[in-house]
Amino acid sequence: MESELQVFQDYIRRRDLRRTRERERILQEVFEIHGHFDVDGLYLQLKQKGVKVSKASIYRALPLFIDCGLVREVEFSEGHWHYEHIYGHSHHNHLRCLGCGEIQEFENQFLNCLEEQLAREYGYYIQNHHLQVQGFCPACRQAAGLPAASNFLKKVDNEQ
């Protein structure tokens, strides 16, 4: 498989953009981060390593990484976007605790079938999906006195 750098360089060539140290250094850093990141964290991490890049450059580079499929927006929370690199990773979804904010990642092959089903049913060409499930992790669930199950059954009862 090509490296993320090659993917990016191909994209740059295709789009008639220019290769710059800054963009490639930002990309390298993004791929050194294990897990989610936000612009501020990325900026500080580069700063700590003595890399001089402005935030504006990060803001301008991220849409390019997203456009060529190397990065994606994970979620908007705390007033700003969180991202992750995706190249070479299998697609995963997020289970988020409303209590402590912990994020569990999970995979589910059904969602790929769902994509196919939607493609057939609506005639869409499906590109990707975002699934975020929210609830309470075991610790927060107990602290809040909630039962172990989801509120699925309750919901069905209430439905109209």
Partner DNA sequence: GCTACTATAGCAAATGAATCTCATTAAAGA
Partner DNA sequence: TCTTTAATGAGATTCATTTGCTATAGTAGC
Residues that bind its own copies (CB under 8 A): 1, 76, 88, 90-91, 95, 97-98, 104, 106, 108, 110, 112, 114-116, 118-119, 121-138, 141, 144, 146-152, 155-156, 158-160
Measured from the CB atom, the residue of 33 and 39 that comes closer to DNA is: 39
Q: Closest distance between DNA and the C-beta of residue 126, in Å? A: 24
Rounded CA-CA distance 48/43 in Å is: 9
Can you give the binding site for DNA, defined by CB under 7 A? 12, 17-23, 38-40, 52-57, 59-61, 79-81
Partner from DNA, its own copies, none contacting 154, C-beta within 5 to 8 A by type: none
Q: Are 106 and 90 in contact (CB under 8 A)?
A: no
* φ, ψ at 88 (rounded to 5°): 85, 0
Q: Are 98 and 151 in contact (CB under 8 A)?
A: no
Measured from the CB atom, the residue of 18 and 155 that comes closer to DNA is: 18
* φ, ψ at 119 (rounded to 5°): -60, -45
Question: For residue 137, which of 105, 96, 107, 109 has the smallest C-alpha distance?
Answer: 96
Alpha carbon separation from 99 to 59, 85, 93, 136 (Å, rounded): 30, 26, 19, 6
Q: Closest distance between its own copies and the C-beta of residue 12, in Å? A: 19
Measured from the CB atom, the residue of 50 and 147 that comes closer to its own copies is: 147
Strands 80-85 and 103-106: unpaired
Q: Closest distance between its own copies and the C-beta of residue 20, in Å? A: 27
Measured from the CB atom, the residue of 72 and 141 that comes closer to DNA is: 72
Q: Closest distance between DNA and the C-beta of residue 116, in Å? A: 32
